[in-house]
Structure 1
């Protein structure tokens, strides 16, 4: 699959990596449902090659491509700065000085902060592969949940998959202000709940959220 995707001319002249959940799935021996790629290129180049912006209104540099029957999201490395409550209050910047590691550092959990190049070589700056083997859910950085409170709900869903939330990560989840949870659209919570119900251990979703009182205050009043 990697060779099929990277055979596209989009990636012939620029460094590119598969990132996020697709890498996790590859390491677990699963076929990924979604494929995300980070490429160090110029936004204009991606548009000229036929990329369709995912969200033209915000200008986030993420583009959809159809490559050999795969629908692929291609993004530029970026850094983000939180400017408001909820999961949409961000400003971002892109540029040639932003490394792959910096891009990976803004992601939620170490198991989702890995990358893989054309040759299948793993880039794992935060120990995600070991955490994956241990079924351990660990935040990449201390601001992970305050930056995006939806990640708290996502952590509970991963618990329903059979992952154990690391103690320090749980404390970060518990420290998220209640206003951040109030700013989350209820449909985002509902989507995560429905996904959790189809996992092997749906009761873990409720157990983990039960350890985050501020989230319970909002979603289970």
Structure 2
């Protein structure tokens, strides 16, 4: 994972000049470069995030006295199924965008931005606590029109029913994953409160452009 962090921090200095992509791909050969359509992002080729955190620069972890290669992503289809690729839909210019439980793809100059949210009753980090999962995604266009993942800053803020007030920011590669605990209707209850309200998101890649998104999840029973 540290190797991937390093790669994303350096991506712009390679993708934005002629010949840079080939150098980047050679330097970080342990990553996965699908080159699907105009998506030339480097992807971490490990589907299990916990294993990815333990893996060395070559995608291997030490089990006992043996090094085991945990890289298991070899096709673009796998990335699509894992939700790691940009959606197909797009808009050709920047506009005020307010969608329910997500924001469709917005393209402005050489930046692409979109958002997803999930009302999850279980999460691997805290498997017994329901969460609202907000996923902020972006890409940048390099030379020859290819899109790539890179490091940028986002900030979210909201005060919504079922969650309360939250404000947070991240400055790393896409996606930026924000988690907030969903409240129950009363102490000891297994019924979750409805999650409704407006979230604002700033994305530095588009000049600190502010987007607004409406959350509308009904009350439901914990699974």
**Greater share of residues in helix:** 1
Q: Which has the larger radius of gyration?
A: 2
TM-score, length-scaled by structure 2: 0.26
